[in-house]
Amino acid sequence: MHPPERLDRFMARANTIYYATHDPFADFTTSPEISQVFGEILGLWAAVVWRMLGSPGPVLLAEAGPGRGTLMADALRAIGRAAPDFAAALRVHLIETSPRLRTAQAARVPEAVWHDSLDTVPEAPLILLANEFLDALPIRQFVRRGDGWTERFVADGAWIEQPADNAQVPPGRGAAEGGIVELNEPARAFVAALAGRLRRHPGVALLVDYGPASSAAGDSLQALARRKPVDPLSPPGSADLTAHVDFADMAETARSAGAAVQGPVTQGAFLSALGVFQRTAALARGRSETQAAALREGTRRLTDAAAMGDLFKVLVVASPGCGTLPGFAADPGR
């Protein structure tokens, strides 16, 4: 028998083992791996934002959770062709803890500087991209029991509940008896730290992930192994554990820390506003029909409401006073 382990500690331990010992892309596919258009669009978006910030130089182009480095490599290629002044001013910084993934990233983005966390990224003007980063950060889960709450722990591969401090449970989620409310403390800390930097230096952070626009009760913890759902309490390190991102909570965290917020908007709406279909058509010209069809299918997966278009959201955390950014036109949430 092992002592009970709080869910967030179990999840952190499991994912540390998993990312150190697995190629995660054997188990799931992210937007940059679906189509080169995704990274190119984000790179061109960053170039426009840089000019809106006054073209500071040098400027850090950072990515949190950069996977294989595909997104950054595609972004830098597009920037080099369309915005050489931005390419000359930027310095690439990647936030990655996995030695295995750092090796893959170095092959694609050899000029990068790596960090274990945001803490060691230099203080400077910043444009940060984070695609499917927050969803892998460990969550706590609270269960409604009568007038109070318990918290979920893991013991020998099974759930147990222990009494919780009611004051730690996020309010306003509307959980009925037995309902679950989730709390992602590392995501809150990351967003608050970003907001602090963006108060001190001009910049923006673009957060792309899956989850609801509004806070609500529900169990969103999931595990993938060999591209199939498995029990989240499988042996630690055998599967990738993730949970939905509460975008309303992230936005409130950023505002409370003094930053401006734009969005969330759906990924489909964001990419459409940035011209993803036109970019896809331009890339498809001169390609074989098989290659052109693959490009069109990739864009469909990224934007279609029945695929990733609605489930995935895009949120910007920005320096106070930042103008309306591309993809967020007439956003009332700023």
Q: Is 313 helix (H, G, I), strand (E, B) or coil?
A: strand
Quote the Cα angle for 313-318-321, to 5°. Answer: 130
Give how far Cα 102 sits from Cα of 15, 21, 79, 223, Å: 16, 13, 22, 23
Q: Which helix (H) or strand (E) holds 60?
A: strand 59-64
Cβ–Cβ under 8 Å, residues 129 and 206: yes
| Cβ neighbours around 286 below 10 Å, total | 8
pTM: 0.94
Tens digit of each residue's pLDDT (9 = 90 or more) over 223-280: 988 888 999 999 998 999 999 999 999 999 999 999 999 999 999 999 999 999 999 9
Residue 131 per-residue DSSP state: E
Q: What is the DSSP string of 158-206?
A: EEEEEE--GGGSPSS----TT-EEEE-HHHHHHHHHHHHHHHHS-EEEE
Task: Kindly report the number of other CB atoms within 10 A of residue 61's CB atom.
Answer: 26
Q: Which amino acid is at 192?
A: A
d(CA 279, CA 295): 10
Map out the domains of the chain as residue ranges: 21-137+184-229+237-318
Better-predicted residue by pLDDT, 107 or 330: 107
Q: What angle do CA 149, 153, 155 make, to 5 degrees?
A: 145
User: Beta-carbon neighbour count of residue 168 at 10 Å?
Assistant: 12
Tell me, what's the pLDDT at 225? 86
Kindly report each contact of residues 24-27 with a partner whose C-beta sits within 8 Å and lies 24 or more positions away, as own/partner. Answer: 24/67, 24/101, 24/240, 25/67, 25/68, 26/226, 26/227, 27/224, 27/225, 27/226, 27/227, 27/239, 27/240
What would the pLDDT profile of 92-137 be if each residue is shown by its tens digit? Answer: 999 999 898 999 999 999 999 999 999 999 999 999 999 999 999 9
**21-137+184-229+237-318: CATH number:** 3.40.50.150
Q: What is the mean pLDDT of the chain?
A: 94
Maximum CA pair distance of the chain?
65
